[in-house]
Amino acid sequence: MPPADGPAQARKDILFWTRIAADWQVKFAVDGITTKPLLDWLRQQKCADYVEGDYFGKPQLPLLHD
């Protein structure tokens, strides 16, 4: 069961693109992971080859100017 805190449309989109990636035999990455329940749901679906998002830490962007 998808986590209650995740938007329903996002879950539908993830499953849709998972099928597309499988049909095309390409790797699939999901960005925007912000909670453990969402990560757990993705693991249960076995749909993403790669995940990223704020749950794993905030991105550190390099400074362009001092």
pLDDT per residue as tens digits for the range 4-62: 555 778 788 888 999 999 999 999 998 888 889 889 988 998 888 999 999 998 877 77
- Lookup result for tokens 């991105």: 59
The pLDDT of residue 38: 86
How many Å is the maximal CA-CA distance in the chain?
48
- The closest alpha carbon to 54, from 36, 29, 27, 28, belongs to 36
The pLDDT of residue 8: 79
The pLDDT of residue 52: 92
Measure the CA–CA gap between 25 and 20, rounded to whole angstroms: 8
